[in-house]
Structures are given as structure tokens and as C-alpha cells.
Amino acid sequence: MIAEGDFNRPLLQNSSQGYDPFASPPDLELAERHKMAMSIGTEKITTDVTVERCPCCHHAIFKTPISMCCSEVDLCFMGVGHPLYYRLTKYFAAIIMLMFVSSGGVVVLISNLQCKEACADFFGIPIMKL
């Protein structure tokens, strides 16, 4: 029998597991497990047939993290977008470092850190008075 306020709720396929996406207050432990399931990584290879999965998205909860220095071929199992995103992130980091070094930012930083008397403090960082 459907209760009077339940007409707008979709029928749950896995209600036997006790998962309710509309629970109030929300289950914070389930939210943490969903966060772990949505993290980027490969599923841990185990001999067990049963792998613990998130009840809402059915992704494996425990994963082996992927390092940031891995090759782009290792990220291909996630689709085309992830390798491109990480490649773009690496290129942007290299461009920012190149701009910092070439603009004289290193010289200004070193000279500011070595000044003693003629400096003003800005949030604990010594800045030369000009």
C-alpha cells in the first residue's frame, strides 16, 4: 500500500538493502562511502567474489589510488576526458612555473625574504618598502 505522501517518490530497486536516497536526516556514513566510491582509482583485485559497492552508484568502494605521475595510458579506462584533463593540468603547472621564473619572481621573493630593516610585514611575509 502506498502512503499518501509517497506518490512523488520513485520506486527503489534496491530497497531490500535499506538504501533510501530521500532519507531525512541523510546518512553521513553512506555519504562518506559514496565519496570513496567516486574517487579516481582502479578497483582492488581480490580473490573474494563479493566486492563492497556503493548502494546508490554501484561503484567499488575500495580502490587503489593512481599517482599523478602515471602515464596517460593508465588513465584510459576512465574515458577520453580524464587523460586530457590531467595533461592540461600538467601543462598549466609548467606554464605557471615558467612565467614565475622568467618574470623575475624568484629574485623578488629571495630579496624580500633576506631584507631585515627596510621591510614591512604583510601577513608575516616581509615586503621591501619602495
- Amino acid identity, residue 82? H
Q: Would you say 103 and 96 are in contact if contact means Cβ atoms under 8 Å apart?
A: no
CA 112, CA 124: separation in Å to the nearest integer? Answer: 12
Higher pLDDT, 38 or 92: 92
How confident is the model at residue 13, as a pLDDT?
A: 46
Q: Is the overall model pTM greater than 0.85, yes or no? A: no
How confident is the model at residue 100, as a pLDDT?
A: 80
Query: Which of 33-65 are b and which e, b meaning 16 or more Cβ less than 10 Å from the residue's Cβ?
Result: bbeebeeeeeeeeeeeeeeeebbeeeebbebee
How confident is the model at residue 36, as a pLDDT?
A: 87
How confident is the model at residue 113, as a pLDDT?
A: 66
CA 2, CA 96: separation in Å to the nearest integer? Answer: 59
User: Which one, of 96, 36, 81, 31, lies nearest residue 60 by Cα?
Assistant: 36
